[in-house]
């Protein structure tokens, strides 16, 4: 018998956890025919509602249901990592609790693993039902990422992934603190099959990602998988040195040849504010990397457990 573990990060998902269970278990007979058992790992990411209680109710009924509760909200990335450490399956799949990652396509995904793929990833082909501003910035993020990072990061990729134990162990060998799974999955490589599906809107509860949270997450992604912004800062430095050099020459020549007095403080003010702006911006970029390095060297645990069932 093989074992397939589903890892479900949950943050205030009391309305969804049982619906998810029933929807997921519709695949039971398919997997039984293929000598594969199922187990569920709900990772309660510091929910303040009755998520943990609902999962415990299910666990009392069905021994295949497990619960891991964090001591506080550590974020979805931490939940994914914890799930990989705890779940012992020969295959692991990550799924959202809100049924936006349809369990109905799991059999097809599993089929690709039997064909010899190491992992099966999913992406949404559209962003139907999402605020347009968010879609716009999301698209821009992926465009920039593709230019500045050598790691493949697919537009519209979801965290809905089925992978073999070998891939899971590869990911577990990356214990970095600033985790950006979309990048980590691409970084480890292996044969990946991409499956597409239409976006499904969340039926119950609300999205846990505010625009600001997504913006900070995108910065995590950039600093974790690209050092191009640092090169950009250096490039700006060179560019402005050259410009300043040209200006100095220009001023000297004008004074020597035409005898013009150097005039005007407005132009000076403009130049000074422009250059200090650029300087602060570049310093900010360096600061971002320094901050990430600082968090990384502290070696704090990625998550803390309150309860495990």
Q: How far is the CB of 76 from ligand UDP (least distance, A)?
A: 4
Number of neighbouring beta carbons within 10 Å of residue 88: 11
What character string, x for contact with ligand UDP (CB under 6 A) and - otherwise, covers 175-214?
Answer: ---------------------------x----xxx-----
Establish if 45 lies at the interface with Mg ion (CB under 5 A).
Answer: no
Establish if 100 lies at the interface with Mg ion (CB under 5 A).
Answer: yes
The residue among 77 and 98 lying less far from Mg ion, judged by its C-beta, is 98
The two tokens of residue 217 are 């997450």
What character string, x for contact with ligand UDP (CB under 6 A) and - otherwise, covers 37-66?
Answer: --------x---------------------
3 state DSSP class of 212: helix
Establish if 79 lies at the interface with ligand UDP (CB under 6 A).
Answer: yes
How far is Cα 212 from Cα 182, in angstroms, rounded to an integer?
A: 19
Q: Which of 98, 101, 118, 159 binds Mg ion (CB under 5 A)?
A: 98
Q: Which of 98, 168, 185, 302 binds ligand UDP (CB under 6 A)?
A: 98
Q: How far is the CB of 159 from ligand UDP (least distance, A)?
A: 8
132-148 vs 228-253: helix crossing angle, rounded to 10: 80
Q: How far is the CB of 303 from ligand UDP (least distance, A)?
A: 11
Closest C-alpha to 131, from 197, 204, 76, 210: 210
How far is Cα 41 from Cα 5, in angstroms, rounded to an integer?
A: 7
Residues 6+ apart with CB under 8 A from 88: 3, 5
Establish if 100 lies at the interface with ligand UDP (CB under 6 A).
Answer: yes
3 state DSSP class of 192: strand
Q: Which of 10, 99, 168, 224 binds ligand UDP (CB under 6 A)?
A: 10
Do residues 193 and 121 lie in contact, with contact meaning Cβ atoms separated by under 8 Å?
yes
Establish if 221 lies at the interface with ligand UDP (CB under 6 A).
Answer: no
The two tokens of residue 235 are 């490039």
Q: How far is the CB of 79 from Mg ion (least distance, A)?
A: 13
Q: How far is the CB of 43 from ligand UDP (least distance, A)?
A: 7
β-sheet with 119-124: strand ranges across = 192-197, 119-124, 157-164, 91-94, 2-10, 36-44, 65-70, 305-308
Which residues in 165-304 belong to E strands, given as ranges? 192-197
How far is Cα 284 from Cα 19, in angstroms, rounded to an integer?
A: 45
Q: How far is the CB of 213 from Mg ion (least distance, A)?
A: 13
Q: Which of 6, 7, 13, 179 binds ligand UDP (CB under 6 A)?
A: 13
181-188 vs 211-225: helix crossing angle, rounded to 10: 30
User: Using CB under 5 A, which of the segments 53-61, 99-107, 138-146, 232-240 binds Mg ion?
Assistant: 99-107
Task: Choose from ligand UDP, Mg ion, none: what does 10 bind? Cβ within 5-8 Å by kind.
Answer: ligand UDP
The residue among 10 and 93 lying less far from ligand UDP, judged by its C-beta, is 10
Kindly list the residues in this chain that would bind ligand UDP in the complex (CB under 6 A): 9-11, 13, 45, 73, 75-76, 79, 96-98, 100, 202, 207-209
């Amino acid at each position: 018998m093989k074992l397939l573990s589903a890892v479900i990060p949950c943050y205030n998902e009391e309305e969804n956890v049982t619906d998810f269970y029933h929807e997921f278990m519709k695949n039971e007979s398919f997997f039984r025919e293929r000598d594969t058992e199922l187990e569920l790992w709900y990772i309660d990411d510091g929910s303040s509602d009755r998520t943990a209680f609902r999962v415990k109710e299910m666990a009392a009924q069905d021994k295949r249901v497990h619960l891991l509760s964090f001591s506080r909200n550590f974020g979805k990335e931490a939940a994914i990592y914890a799930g990989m450490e705890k779940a012992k399956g020969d295959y692991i799949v990550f799924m959202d609790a809100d049924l936006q990652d349809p369990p109905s396509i799991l059999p097809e995904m599993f089929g690709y693993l039997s064909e010899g793929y190491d992992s099966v990833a999913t992406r949404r082909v559209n962003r139907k039902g999402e605020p347009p501003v968010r879609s716009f910035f999301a698209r821009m993020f992926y465009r920039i990422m593709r230019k500045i990072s050598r790691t493949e990061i697919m537009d519209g990729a979801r965290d809905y992934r089925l992978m073999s134990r070998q891939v899971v162990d590869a990911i577990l060998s990356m214990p970095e603190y600033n985790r950006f799974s979309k990048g980590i999955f691409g970084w480890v490589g292996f044969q990946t099959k991409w499956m597409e599906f239409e976006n499904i809107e969340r039926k119950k509860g609300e999205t846990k990602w505010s625009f600001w949270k997504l913006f900070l997450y995108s910065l995590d992604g950039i600093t974790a998988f690209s050092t191009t912004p640092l090169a950009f800062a250096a490039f700006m430095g060179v560019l402005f040195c050259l410009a300043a050099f040209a200006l100095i020459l220009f001023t000297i020549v004008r004074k020597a040849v035409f005898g013009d007095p150097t005039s005007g403080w407005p132009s000076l003010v403009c130049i000074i504010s422009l250059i200090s702006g650029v300087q602060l911006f570049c310093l900010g970029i360096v600061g971002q990397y320094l901050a990430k390095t600082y968090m990384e060297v502290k070696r704090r645990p990625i998550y803390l457990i309150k309860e495990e069932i």
